[in-house]
């Protein structure tokens, strides 16, 4: 479902894939080649949501801002795993957000970082670029290597392929 709210309509370039079960509401803007997968909710009703180019929001994830304070901003080449909650936060470019992660208001995830599956990032936390965080609450574990950085991009590239396959299926 894609719908307007308070005069704002989602902006979805033709290069994007948005599954028919996903919900994009209000002030939501997707970058080129972004994808939003099954049963995800991007609720741009109380603040804006921006998803960068080549990024993917996987199944059952929820993106929502904090009224008057915190938008949700997802950079380019970001992979947001299944059942992630991003609430009023910034995820910079080239990050891998593992399954079941929760990132809360005012948090900022630095470029080239990984949040391991199940991690909770508390309000206002700043994750330094190029780092691995894990746990409940999340804690810094290590600085990432060049190999780790390549793995982050491999996940994002995989989803570009899936996106293209799904778009091709829709044309049949």
**Residue 72's closest CA among 105, 101, 100?**
105
Supply 107's token pair.
């948090």
- Residue 25 and residue 64 in contact, taking contact as beta carbons nearer than 8 Å: no
Q: Which domains does the chain have, with CATH numbers?
A: 2-171 (2.160.10.10)
pLDDT score at 108: 98
Model pLDDT for residues 16-71, shown as the tens digit of each residue: 999 999 999 999 999 999 999 999 999 999 999 999 999 999 999 999 999 989 99
Q: Distance between CA atoms of 17 and 9, rounded to whole angstroms?
A: 17
What burial letters (b/e) apply to 50-72, b meaning 16+ CB within 10 Å? bbbbbbbbbbbbbbbbbeeebbb
Checking if the pLDDT of 13 tops 90, the result is yes
pLDDT score at 115: 98
Supply 64's token pair.
């929502």
Which 8-state DSSP code applies to residue 172?
-
Sign (positive/negative) of CA torsion 26, 31, 36, 41?
Answer: negative
Interval 99-126 mean pLDDT = 98
pLDDT score at 12: 98
- Residue 52 and residue 30 in contact, taking contact as beta carbons nearer than 8 Å: no
């Amino acid at each position: 479902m894609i719908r307007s709210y308070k005069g704002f309509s989602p902006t979805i370039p033709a290069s994007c894939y948005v599954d028919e079960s996903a919900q994009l509401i209000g002030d939501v803007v997707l970058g080129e080649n972004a994808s939003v997968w099954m049963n995800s909710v991007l609720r741009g009703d109380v603040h804006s949501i921006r998803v960068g180019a080549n990024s993917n929001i996987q199944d059952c994830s929820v993106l929502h801002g904090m009224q008057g304070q915190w938008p949700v901003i997802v950079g380019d080449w970001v992979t947001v795993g299944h059942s992630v909650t991003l609430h009023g936060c910034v995820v910079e470019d080239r990050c891998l957000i593992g399954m079941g992660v929760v990132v809360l208001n005012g948090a900022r995830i630095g470029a080239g970082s990984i949040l391991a599956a199940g991690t909770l990032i508390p309000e206002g936390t700043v994750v330094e670029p190029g780092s691995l965080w894990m746990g409940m609450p999340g804690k810094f574990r290590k600085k990432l290597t060049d190999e780790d950085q390549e793995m982050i991009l491999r996940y994002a590239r995989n989803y570009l392929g899936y996106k293209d396959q799904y778009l091709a299926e829709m044309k049949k």
